[in-house]
Amino acid sequence: MSDDNWPTPLPRPGDDDETPGADASVFAVFAPPDDPPASDEPPESGKSSEAAALGVEPSGAGLSARSGPPAPSGVGTAVLGAGGADRVVGSRRRIGPLSWIGAVLLGVWLVAMPLTSSVTELRQNTQIIVMVLAVLGVNIATGYGGMISLGHGVFVAVGAFAAAYAVDDLALPWVLSILAGAAFAGVIGALVGLPALRIKGIHLALVTLGLAIVFQPLAKRVPAFSGGVSGRAVGAELVPPSWFGTSRWAEGLYHYLICLVVVGLAMWLTHNIIKSRPGRAMRAVRDNDTAAAVYGVNLVASRVSTFAVSASLAGLAGALGIVLVPFASQESYPFQESLVLYATAVLGGLGSLWGSVLGVAIREVFSRIGELLGDVSGLGPLGEFLRLLDEEQFVFGVLLVALTFVFPRGLIGMFNRRKT
**For the residues 111-123, what does the mean pLDDT come to?**
90
133-154 pLDDT tens trace: 999 999 999 999 999 989 999 9
Is residue 171's pLDDT more than 80?
yes
What gap in Å lies between CA 199 and CA 338, rounded to an integer? Answer: 20
Phi-psi region of 228 (alpha: psi -120 to 50; beta: other; left: phi over 0): left
Residue 175: pLDDT band with limits 50, 70, 90: very high
Write out the H or E segment, with its range, that includes residue 125: helix 119-139
34-54 pLDDT tens trace: 444 444 444 444 433 333 333
Which segment of 20-29, 172-181, 314-323 scores lowest on mean pLDDT?
20-29
CA 221, chain centre distance (Å): 31
| 3-class DSSP state of 64 | strand
Is residue 15's pLDDT more than 50?
yes
Is the CB of residue 74 less than 8 Å from the CB of residue 33?
yes
**For the residues 214-228, what does the mean pLDDT come to?**
87
What gap in Å lies between CA 159 and CA 179, rounded to an integer? Answer: 9
| Residue-level pLDDT at 34 | 41
| Residue-level pLDDT at 127 | 93
| Residue-level pLDDT at 173 | 92
Is residue 102's pLDDT more than 50?
yes
Provide the sign of the torsion angle of the four alpha carbons 228, 212, 153, 185, taken in this order: positive
| Residue-level pLDDT at 85 | 34
Parse the chain into domains and list their residue ranges: 26-94, 96-342
231-290 pLDDT tens trace: 888 878 888 888 888 889 999 999 999 999 999 999 999 999 999 998 999 999 999 888
**For the residues 64-85, what does the mean pLDDT come to?**
37
| Residue-level pLDDT at 196 | 79
